[in-house]
Amino acid sequence: MMKKKIDVVNEVVNLVKRDLVMGRLALGEHISEDSLIYRLDIKRNAAREALAELDRQGVIEIAPFRGAYVRRLSADDVRQIFDTLCVLYRAWGGMIDGPLAKPAVDELERRRLLHSESVERGDPEAIYLANASFHAGVLSTLDNRFLAETIDRMESYLHNVRYHLVFSRKEYTDEGCLQHAAMVRYLHDGDGEAFAEVCIMHISHAKNYYSNSNVFLK
């Protein structure tokens, strides 16, 4: 069965984002429509739409007459993104007015365990995919489409620098597993304030690393 174009575009977007996190694409690296067409055997309009979506998400930037490049962020960009995420997480926490339904909690727990198992195996690709699945599941519990879209966009900006930290120290992934468990627990309990604070803690190591590093900045 032939895939719908929107499915193809989403697959390309997710593949490029995964390549960024895994370090297979460098900051500032050029990404052409032709390279996507050749590598993935897709049509040109699908490649063009995928690049446009990545540009919309802030993962790449498309410059007139120069093409598409992996976006670089300045130290100030990174600080502003994290500050914005802190505000958004607290707004999310303020909207939590009761315990999350059991089926939703069970699904989050299933995804959390998959991530923990991938960390135990030390499989970088599996860790990334399971982590993305867990966070998508958590975000799906937010009953405000516009806030969810804003959080997703802010987090997307960080795909092009995240790989510098994700696998650099095992204690970070171990601590991340504990924080995932806390997120599920606080959603189960309906404790929005505690949920927001653990979300902020979850990004604190990355914020400090990015802000103090010169390897990826403009």
Report the CATH number at residue 44: 1.10.10.10
The confidence score (pLDDT) of residue 71 equals: 86
- Percent of the chain at pLDDT above 70? 86
Which of the four pLDDT bands, split at 50, 70 and 90, describes residue 168? low
Q: In the numeric block, which tokens belong to residue 15?
A: 């593949």
- Give the structural domain span for 35: 5-70
**Domain end position, chosen among 54, 70, 86:** 70
Both 80 and 128 in one domain: the answer is yes
The confidence score (pLDDT) of residue 172 equals: 74
Both 13 and 83 in one domain: the answer is no
Residue 9 falls inside a structural domain: yes
Residue 218 falls inside a structural domain: no
For 163-188, what is the mean pLDDT? 81
**Burial status of residue 72 (CB atoms within 10 A of its CB: 0-12, 13-18, 19 or more):** middle
Answer yes or no: is pLDDT of 34 > 70: yes
For 142-166, what is the mean pLDDT? 81
Both 58 and 87 in one domain: the answer is no
User: If you average pLDDT over every residue of the chain, what do you get?
Assistant: 86
Radius of gyration from C-alpha coordinates of the chain: 18
**Number of structural domains the chain divides into:** 2
pTM for the structure as a whole:
0.82
Both 134 and 151 in one domain: the answer is yes
Cβ-Cβ contacts under 8 Å for 146 (sequence gap 6 or more): none
Answer yes or no: is pLDDT of 199 > 90: yes
Both 81 and 65 in one domain: the answer is no
Helix axes 75-95, 145-156, angle to 10 degrees: 150
Residue 195 falls inside a structural domain: yes
**Domain end position, chosen among 50, 70, 90:** 70
Which of 103-107, 115-119, 125-129, 183-187 is predicted with the least confidence, judged by mean pLDDT?
125-129
Both 51 and 153 in one domain: the answer is no
Which of the four pLDDT bands, split at 50, 70 and 90, describes residue 2? very low
**Domain end position, chosen among 47, 70, 93:** 70
Both 121 and 187 in one domain: the answer is yes
Residue 156 falls inside a structural domain: yes
Both 18 and 87 in one domain: the answer is no
CATH of the domain at 102: 1.20.120.530
Task: Give CA–CA dist 180/138, Å, rounded.
Answer: 10
CA 136 vs CA 48, 68, 84, 132: distances in Å: 25, 26, 19, 6
Both 154 and 188 in one domain: the answer is yes
The confidence score (pLDDT) of residue 24 equals: 83
Both 195 and 89 in one domain: the answer is yes
Helix axes 159-166, 124-139, angle to 10 degrees: 130
Task: Give CA–CA dist 118/115, Å, rounded.
Answer: 5
